[in-house]
Chain A
Amino acid sequence: MLNTRSKVVAFILALGRRLTGLLCVLFGVSLITFTMTYFAPGDKASAIANARYPDVQGFPPEILDGIREEFSLNEPFFVQFFQWLYRFVQGDFGNSFASNTPVWDIFVANAAETFSLTATALVLGLVLAFALSSIAVWRPGSLFDRASVALASVGAAMPNYWLGLLLILLFAAQLNWLPAYGTGSPSHLVLPALTLAFWITASQTRLLRAFFLEAKAAPYIETLRLRGVSETEIFWRHIFRHAAVPALTMIGLDIASLLEGAVIVELTFARGGIGSLLAGSVLSRDYPMVLFLVLFSAVVYVFINSMIEFLQEIMDPRNSVWSHQQAVPSGEARS
């Protein structure tokens, strides 16, 4: 048996190992992102010049050379990479080519839109998924159960851009209840949030149902029932609590998919937000913006994943932190 102190040491070591891995991945992520923009077609100097002097057509080579000098575009790849990384780590993300304002400011201005969309959709989707799956497992195999499984299957196969269009067709074009495109009032949020929430409901109903069924099948549930514990109490105090932990980790893992969903939904409904910002910057080759957004999504995703893996690692007695073996390679769970 290990004493408390060596447990703490082992815990810190495990944390250290994870952080090292995380740093490696973050470095790899920035290298990949930078490489991609470095080798992207098109002359960066004229892109910068276009952004800086929007009214001028055609630049003399001296100006372009000056810009190349200023942005170190003539330096070797790795010099440019480390210069960029150095500034990036210090929080200097550069200015957008398109508007010549700091990338960070533009990002903050757009983040609220995306956040309100994803948060609304997440809450709505989870509440629906929870309601559906808990009613469904009440009597497995019943009509309701089968319907919820079918809904989950269709939902997983449903292209959410198409669902968005259908909702627009029905509620905006035909019934004229809600605005179709744009941002602004809360009513603009309804259709996009519904679209995204439907997808969350579909994917989570399937998982929650499986977790509930598993928790319900545990032998001790039958014992409780024999002891006369009421069904309601069994469900809330035992089944629900048992299923909640795996469900929460799965939801965490789906954050990446949520971000992806937001991109599509924002573009479908012509909303502002990070997704539209990304698409716009990509098309106008606004590299500082693109670099920042891609790195941001990757970093968010990596952090959430690492946190979940770490939590699982310390919560799961089977691969306890202080065992010598490396934990099972994780990540297959990303759906």
Chain B
Amino acid sequence: MTVQADVGFLEAPDAQRSKQELDLKRFLVQLGLSLLIFLVAVAACFLLSPYAPNEPNFLERLSPPSASHWLGTDQLGRDVAARLLYGGVWSIGLAFLVTIVGAIAGTAIGLAAGHFGRAADVTLMRVTDSFFAFPELIAAVTIAGVLGPSTTNMVLALILVGWMKFARLVRSLSVDLAHRDFVVQARLNGLPSYRILWRHILPNIAPSLLVLWTNAWSRTILSISGLSFLGFGVQSPNAEWGAMLLDGKAYMQTAPHLMIFPGLAILIAVLSINLTGDRLRDLLGSNGAAAG
């Protein structure tokens, strides 16, 4: 027997690749740890903060940042720091929800277009193109406004305008993959479609999908805050960052901190997600250009 006489049994077959994988693992661990620390810190703030976000205090209206109110108070004497914390849950959390739903719907549609024949492909992609033709924010403003400005309607609107880019990416990648040898093999071996999609197509488009998703997430945070700032989203007194900006706008001259901190929060949140996404794209080496 000539067991394992093949050349190159011991050396790593692709040193470059495994280094990349190691880098990726290290990055994911770092990311997980910092997220954990961040979440613990936020939870601690929630627990230790003496102020409720919607609790007015008319004795301390529009007070600038001080030792008792680190980021000052707003026109009703509510603590800005506490409101920012709660606002983050709205802005970041709602955007998370919206993009997850959009990603799942878009992926399902993209896979269906790529794999269930020409008729399905043409129909689904024409529908996707039609939805894609509306500039996102304009469509969101219209839908949210026509349905009546509220958080639910804004979420609905953003889901409606957000799924198409996932559908397009998934469709184009999975059509490419369908011609790859291992997928042809799977078909020849008689695997059912669901298994081919689940085990062969999805895992191989997941990296690009992840990169696109981080991108969509940060953009949706901007959209949510923007819509709320324009009055089409989360409504006062709920402490969404954009809604806080809208409230603070009127007190620009007397209490600029009302306007500076929520904007800064949006900027930092979006920037961190973007940078994480960029790093992920580099590490995954996927065709993240498609997610630009």
- Contact present between A and B (CB < 8 A): yes
A157 to B278, CA, bound (A): 13
Whether A282 touches B267, Cβ cut-off 8 Å, given contacts A329-B125, A332-B292, is no
* Nearest CB of B to A52, in Å: 21
- B58-66, B101-109, B128-136, B190-198 - the one binding chain A: B128-136
Whether A263 touches B138, Cβ cut-off 8 Å, given contacts A329-B175, A332-B169, is yes
Interface residue? B256 (CB, 8 A): yes
- The contact of A260 among B136, B252, B274, B275, by CB within 8 Å, is B136
Interface residue? B137 (CB, 8 A): yes
Residues 261-277 (chain A) with a chain B CB within 8 angstroms: 263-264, 267-268
- B13-21, B32-40, B49-57, B139-147 - the one binding chain A: B139-147
Query: Is B145 within 8 A of A282, CB to CB?
Result: yes
Interface residue? A182 (CB, 8 A): no
* Nearest CB of A to B129, in Å: 5
Residues 249-303 (chain A) with a chain B CB within 8 angstroms: 256-257, 259-260, 263-264, 267-268, 278-279, 282-283, 285, 290, 293-294, 297-299, 301-302
Query: Is A157 within 8 A of B146, CB to CB?
Result: no
Query: Is B172 within 8 A of A329, CB to CB?
Result: yes
* Nearest CB of B to A308, in Å: 14
- The contact of B135 among A157, A298, A329, by CB within 8 Å, is A298
- The contact of A332 among B127, B130, B172, by CB within 8 Å, is B172
Interface residue? B290 (CB, 8 A): yes
Whether A154 touches B125, Cβ cut-off 8 Å, given contacts A29-B134, A260-B136, A279-B145, is no
- The contact of B226 among A159, A168, A285, by CB within 8 Å, is A159
Whether A329 touches B168, Cβ cut-off 8 Å, given contacts A36-B142, A159-B267, is yes
Interface residue? A247 (CB, 8 A): no
Interface residue? B171 (CB, 8 A): yes
Query: Is A260 within 8 A of B133, CB to CB?
Result: no
Query: Is A162 within 8 A of B169, CB to CB?
Result: no
**A-contact 0/1 string along B254-266, CB 8 Å cutoff:** 0010011011001
**B-contact 0/1 string along A113-140, CB 8 Å cutoff:** 0000000000000000000000000000
The number of chain B residues touching the other chain, given as a range, is: 35 or more
Chain B residue at minimum C-beta to C-beta distance from A285: B146
- The contact of A28 among B126, B137, B146, B226, by CB within 8 Å, is B126
Query: Is B266 within 8 A of A159, CB to CB?
Result: yes
Whether A328 touches B172, Cβ cut-off 8 Å, given contacts A157-B270, A260-B135, is yes
A31 to B134, CA, bound (A): 12
* Nearest CB of B to A145, in Å: 16
Interface residue? A80 (CB, 8 A): no
**A-contact 0/1 string along B229-261, CB 8 Å cutoff:** 110100000000010010001001100100110
- The contact of A36 among B143, B171, B218, B253, by CB within 8 Å, is B143
A168 to B138, CA, bound (A): 24
Interface residue? B184 (CB, 8 A): no
* Nearest CB of B to A84, in Å: 16
Query: Is B129 within 8 A of A28, CB to CB?
Result: yes
Query: Is A166 within 8 A of B226, CB to CB?
Result: no
**A-contact 0/1 string along B269-292, CB 8 Å cutoff:** 011001100000000000000111
A65 to B290, CA, bound (A): 53
- The contact of A40 among B147, B260, B270, by CB within 8 Å, is B147
A-B Cβ contacts below 8 A, count: 152
Q: Which residues of B contact A168 (CB under 8 A)?
A: 252
* Nearest CB of A to B230, in Å: 5
Q: Is the interface of B mostly helix, strand, loop or mixed?
A: helix
Q: Which residues of B contact A268 (CB under 8 A)?
A: 229
Residues 149-203 (chain B) with a chain A CB within 8 angstroms: 149, 165, 168-169, 171-172, 175
Query: Is B138 within 8 A of A158, CB to CB?
Result: no
Interface residue? A24 (CB, 8 A): yes
Residues 135-155 (chain A) with a chain B CB within 8 angstroms: 153-154
* Nearest CB of A to B260, in Å: 8
Query: Is B148 within 8 A of A154, CB to CB?
Result: no
Interface residue? B225 (CB, 8 A): yes
Q: Which residues of B contact A184 (CB under 8 A)?
A: none
Interface residue? B80 (CB, 8 A): no
A334 to B131, CA, bound (A): 14
Interface residue? A335 (CB, 8 A): yes
Q: Which residues of A contact B130 (CB under 8 A)?
A: 24-25, 27-29, 31-32
Q: Which residues of B contact A161 (CB under 8 A)?
A: 225-226, 229-230, 242, 245
Interface residue? A58 (CB, 8 A): no
Query: Is B137 within 8 A of A264, CB to CB?
Result: yes
A31 to B270, CA, bound (A): 34
> What are the 6 A-B residue pairs with the smallest beta carbon separation, nearest first?
A28-B130, A282-B145, A162-B263, A157-B270, A157-B271, A260-B137
Pairs across A and B, CB under 8 Å, 21 listed: A24-B129, A28-B133, A157-B218, A157-B274, A158-B267, A159-B225, A159-B266, A161-B226, A161-B245, A162-B259, A165-B245, A256-B136, A263-B137, A264-B137, A278-B138, A285-B146, A294-B138, A294-B139, A302-B133, A329-B172, A335-B292
Chain A residues within 8 Å of B, Cβ to Cβ: 21, 24-29, 31-32, 36-37, 40-41, 153-154, 156-159, 161-162, 165-166, 168-169, 173, 256-257, 259-260, 263-264, 267-268, 278-279, 282-283, 285, 290, 293-294, 297-299, 301-302, 328-329, 331-335
